[in-house]
Amino acid sequence: MRQGSEELSAFFDGESQIDVKQVSNDQAAVAKWSRYQLLRDHLQGETLDGYDSGLVDKIAAALDDEPVILNRFSKRQWIKQNLVNIAKQSSQFAVAASVAAAMIIGVQQYNYQPAQELLSAPTVAGPQGGLSPVSLSTSRTIPQQDVQQVMAQRKRINALLLDHQEQRQRKADQQDEQTAADK
């Protein structure tokens, strides 16, 4: 009987059988099980309750259209300025929900070199292995290094959003005397 994460992964892909009882005695394997499940759902495009890949798509689109003029403010000033504007436009803690679509306040990267002209759609190798069409207007392609950086950023945001949903699902209770009184 094989054990370990490779075997778990293979079983998960339907490639082999596994003794569930034996696995359940191995807490580390069980924990990995849960993560593989989540990863599988993600790769197959399944969504968790409440998690909408539309948010990530919007983020990805916004990162593609990353604003260019950043060198007039320091990063911190830029964020603060925009957050303050939002707070002023809507009272107190009313939020960017007043904006119809997903609102991007700013994406700032260390060592970012602002482009002098409009950037075209990045030449990104998508899941199908193809390239995105390049705009016919005056443009230049983003250097490969920047493309990889944008992709890495998207992946991180995606991973954080996924993890947030998993943690919520597995949340333990907040029981105490007061809530017990509701019974």
Q: How far is residue 6's CA from residue 80's CA, in Å, rounded to a whole number?
A: 47
CA 54 to chain centroid, in Å, comes to 11
Q: What is the DSSP letter of 1?
A: -
With binding defined as CB under 8 A, does residue 119 bind other proteins? no
- Does 2 participate in binding other proteins (rule CB under 8 A)? no
Binding mask 31-70 for other proteins (x = CB under 8 A): x-xxx-xxxxxx-x-x-xxx-x-xx--xx-----------
Greatest CA separation found in the chain?
Answer: 68
Contact by Cβ (8 Å): 23, 33? yes
| Contact set for other proteins, span 9-38 (CB under 8 A) | 12, 14, 20, 23-24, 27, 30-31, 33-35, 37-38
Query: Going residue by residue from 91 to 110, which x/- string records binding to other proteins, judged by CB under 8 A?
Result: xxxxxxxxxx-xxxxxxxxx
131 touching other proteins, by CB under 8 A: no
For the bound state, the minimum distance from the C-beta of residue 138 to other proteins, rounded and expressed in Å, comes to 27
Q: Are 101 and 58 in contact (CB under 8 A)?
A: yes
